[in-house]
Amino acid sequence: MNKQEILNKCTNEEDQLLVSKLLDKIEFCQKRNSVEYTDFLDIRQRGILEKILQFIKCTNYETYGGYENAERTMIILYPEKLEKVFENKQFDYNTILQVIRIKLPNDMRGKYNHRDYLGAVIKVGIKREKVGDILVSIDGADMIVSNDVADYLKTSLSELTRFSKSEFEKVNLEDIYMAPQQTEIFNIIIPSMRVDSVVSELIKTSRSKIIEIINQERVFVNCEVVLKNSKMLKENDKITVRGKGKFKVNKILNTTKRGNLVLEVEKYI
């Protein structure tokens, strides 16, 4: 494995650092015969690293964020001797991830949203990459965090004024509170199934602005970054626009007299 050749594939220093850390962990995994894992990754970062793993033909890994379809996930690398453990779903993820549950007092129920909880994490000095999804409910929140910061984070958050009357506990991944996913279904009219046409209508902005957003690598289809605005979408595709939301293309309903398409889409709230 030529590390420098791989790093040269990166377009900026931030991505080079991300890839370099992954390559180091692959080396540790092989030399130590141990499970190694990244920090939590967003959808763009995960896409970059998975392409590198494919390029170097590394298959002994999986992505996981504490529950199925988690937004922020780690890449977990494992040695050959543990292949069967992972294939048979026998690895205990509680050894690398923990859940911090915050239960609000009755008079505070429903007061805080995702941004409030994330702001509290940043305020106590924990880096964003050490925290995965924050699952908010009316009673509080479940935070999925890296094992190495769990105790500190639990103690530090409990000392904040906003949580002075709240209860804190660590729970297993199996006990995560999964609120029902709420969605909104609506129809849009588009000239074609090109990604720029669809996304422009979804987030109510101009085609020129969409091209700019795509060039910033902020648009993803089925967890893969979109590089060309001419990409054609199809039914059941899932679209993520960073900073704007997540959507699913449900189905083409019909065609208007002018030849435009009526598309049913679903927005995740």
The CATH number of the domain where 202 resides is what? 3.10.290.10
Query: Among residues 175, 192, 209, which one ends one of the domains?
Result: 175
> What CATH number does the domain containing 168 carry?
3.30.70.330
How much is the pLDDT for 1?
62
144: nearest Cα among 216, 73, 193 = 73
Q: Work out the average pLDDT over 76-89.
A: 96
Give yes or no for a contact between 10 and 20, defined as CB atoms under 8 angstroms apart. no
Q: Work out the average pLDDT over 241-263.
A: 94
The total domain count for the chain is 3
Gap between the Cα atoms of 140 and 171, Å rounded: 14
Gap between the Cα atoms of 214 and 230, Å rounded: 11
Query: Among residues 90, 119, 146, which one ends one of the domains?
Result: 90
The per-residue pLDDT of the chain, averaged, comes to 94
Same domain flag for 99 and 171: yes
Same domain flag for 149 and 191: no
Same domain flag for 145 and 197: no
How much is the pLDDT for 181?
77
DSSP E strand boundaries for 92-211? 97-103, 131-137, 140-146, 167-171, 183-190
Same domain flag for 78 and 148: no
Q: Where in the sequence is the domain holding 24, given as residue range(s)?
A: 3-90
Q: Work out the average pLDDT over 149-164.
A: 96
**Residue 212: its H or E element:** helix 207-215
Same domain flag for 234 and 263: yes
Give the pTM: 0.84
Three-state DSSP class for residue 25: helix
Query: Among residues 127, 147, 175, which one ends one of the domains?
Result: 175
DSSP E strand boundaries for the chain? 36-37, 61-64, 74-77, 97-103, 131-137, 140-146, 167-171, 183-190, 219-221, 224-225, 238-241, 245-255, 261-268
pLDDT in tens, 113-156: 999 999 999 999 999 999 999 999 999 999 999 999 999 999 99
Gap between the Cα atoms of 237 and 239, Å rounded: 6
